[in-house]
Amino acid sequence: METRKQRIEAVKIEMNSDFTDYYDSELSRTSARVSKPGEVFNFNRKVIPGMTKWKKLDKLTEIGWNVPPFGQAMDLCEALPIEAIYKGDQVDCFLFLEDSPSRQKKVKMNLFEAAEKYPNNLAMLYIPTKKESDGKVSSVKYVRVGKEHFFVKLTSDHSYCSDEGNVEMSYLNNTFGINLAPLSEEDPLFSVNMIQSEGGVWYAVGYNKNPVLRDSPLEDRLPPEEVSYLIKEFFLSQNNV
The domains of the chain, with CATH numbers, are 4-46 (no CATH), 51-67+128-241 (3.30.470.20), 69-126 (no CATH)
9, 232 Cβ separation under 8 angstroms: yes
Task: Please check whether residue 106 is in contact with residue 97, taking contact to mean a CB–CB distance below 8 angstroms.
Answer: yes
List % helix, strand, coil for the chain (3-state, nearest 5): 25, 30, 40
Q: Which letter, b or e, does each residue of 51-87 get, where b requires 16 or more Cβ atoms within 10 Å of its Cβ?
A: bbbbebbebbeebebebbebbbbbebbeebeeeeeee
Mind listing the pLDDT tens digit of every residue in the chain (241 residues)? Answer: 778 888 888 889 999 999 999 999 999 887 666 667 678 899 998 887 788 999 999 999 988 889 999 999 999 988 877 566 555 557 899 999 999 988 889 999 999 999 999 999 999 999 988 877 787 888 999 999 998 889 999 998 887 788 788 889 999 886 666 655 555 567 899 999 999 888 888 999 999 988 999 999 999 999 999 999 999 999 988 876 5
Quote the CA–CA distance of 194 and 151 in Å, as a whole number: 10
Q: Quote the CA–CA distance of 150 and 172 in Å, as a whole number.
A: 8
Sign of the C-alpha dihedral, residues 122, 100, 192, 171?
Answer: negative
Coil, helix or strand at residue 219: helix
